[in-house]
């Protein structure tokens, strides 16, 4: 949620555009964080329910037995690191574009956080989904029809809002533009 704070700090901008972009990005980041982490926790819970372990070295090659859960887990991970085409990217880029004119160096450091996130997400996915599968996972079952419902809903939200973020940004702008206008018309609000 650190990206939300960076986006919110864009309100300190003298320019209406940077403030509106940053606040829109922060709002979108809150929404997409809910869908992405929701899918991540859902799939981790499904994996735990089937394996009864969260110990990463014991896991491996799970995508061979649970491909639907594995793909959903990977989509959540890639969206979390801000892969273009996912809602995670759309939210992060708006935050960075809004905050950079106000806080160039802190924003540049936050961009480096994306690299760190990519490292640990890819490390975890490689060790749990790919590689050699232990024989004890040979009887794992993939997502049931009931489990598919939330998986599909969250994956669709992550991809649709990543490909066409205007569905959300237009909605958020209706609430953000009056806030930015009020702050810009009363600069003493920021000095308190």
Which pLDDT belongs to residue 20? 83
DSSP conformation class of 85: T
Looking at the domain assignment, is residue 9 inside a domain?
yes
Question: What is each CA distance from 149 to 26, 88, 152, 188, in whole angstroms?
Answer: 28, 21, 5, 49
Number of domains in the chain: 1
18-73: pLDDT as tens digits: 778 888 988 999 999 999 999 999 999 999 999 999 999 999 999 999 999 999 99
What is the span of the domain harbouring residue 74? Answer: 2-177
Looking at the domain assignment, is residue 188 inside a domain?
no
Looking at the domain assignment, is residue 86 inside a domain?
yes
135-187: pLDDT as tens digits: 999 999 999 999 999 999 999 999 999 999 999 999 998 988 888 787 777 66
Q: Tell me the three state secondary structure of residue 83.
A: coil
Q: Tell me the three state secondary structure of residue 96.
A: helix
Looking at the domain assignment, is residue 82 inside a domain?
yes
32-34-36-39 Cα dihedral, nearest 10 degrees: -150
Looking at the domain assignment, is residue 192 inside a domain?
no
Which pLDDT belongs to residue 15? 58
DSSP conformation class of 130: S
Looking at the domain assignment, is residue 56 inside a domain?
yes
pLDDT at 4 over 80: no
pTM score, whole prediction: 0.86
**Are 83 and 92 spatial neighbours (Cβ–Cβ below 8 Å)?**
no
Measured between alpha carbons, how far is 187 from 42 in angstroms, rounded to an integer? 44
**Are 111 and 60 spatial neighbours (Cβ–Cβ below 8 Å)?**
no
Which pLDDT belongs to residue 34? 97
Looking at the domain assignment, is residue 187 inside a domain?
no
pLDDT at 189 over 80: no
CA 158 remoteness from chain centre:
8
Measured between alpha carbons, how far is 148 from 157 in angstroms, rounded to an integer? 14
Average pLDDT, the chain: 88
Looking at the domain assignment, is residue 182 inside a domain?
no
Tokens of 94: 């708006």
């Amino acid at each position: 949620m650190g990206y939300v704070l960076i986006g919110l700090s864009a309100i300190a901008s003298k320019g209406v555009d940077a403030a509106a972009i940053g606040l829109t990005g922060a709002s979108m980041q809150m929404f997409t964080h809910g869908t992405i982490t929701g899918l991540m926790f859902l799939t981790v819970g499904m994996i735990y329910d089937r394996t009864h372990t969260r110990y990463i070295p014991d896991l491996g090659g799970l995508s061979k037995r649970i491909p639907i859960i594995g793909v959903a887990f990977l989509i959540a991970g890639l969206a979390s690191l801000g892969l273009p085409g996912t809602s995670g990217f759309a939210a992060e880029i708006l935050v960075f574009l809004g905050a950079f004119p106000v806080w160039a160096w802190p924003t540049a450091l936050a961009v480096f956080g994306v690299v760190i996130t990519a490292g640990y997400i890819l490390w975890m996915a490689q060790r749990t989904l790919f590689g050699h599968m232990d024989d004890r996972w040979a009887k794992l079952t993939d997502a049931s029809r009931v489990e598919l419902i939330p998986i599909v809903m969250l994956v669709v939200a992550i991809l649709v809002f990543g490909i066409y973020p205007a569905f959300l940004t237009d909605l958020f702008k209706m609430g953000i533009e009056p806030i930015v206008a009020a702050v810009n018309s009363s600069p003493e609000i920021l000095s308190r």
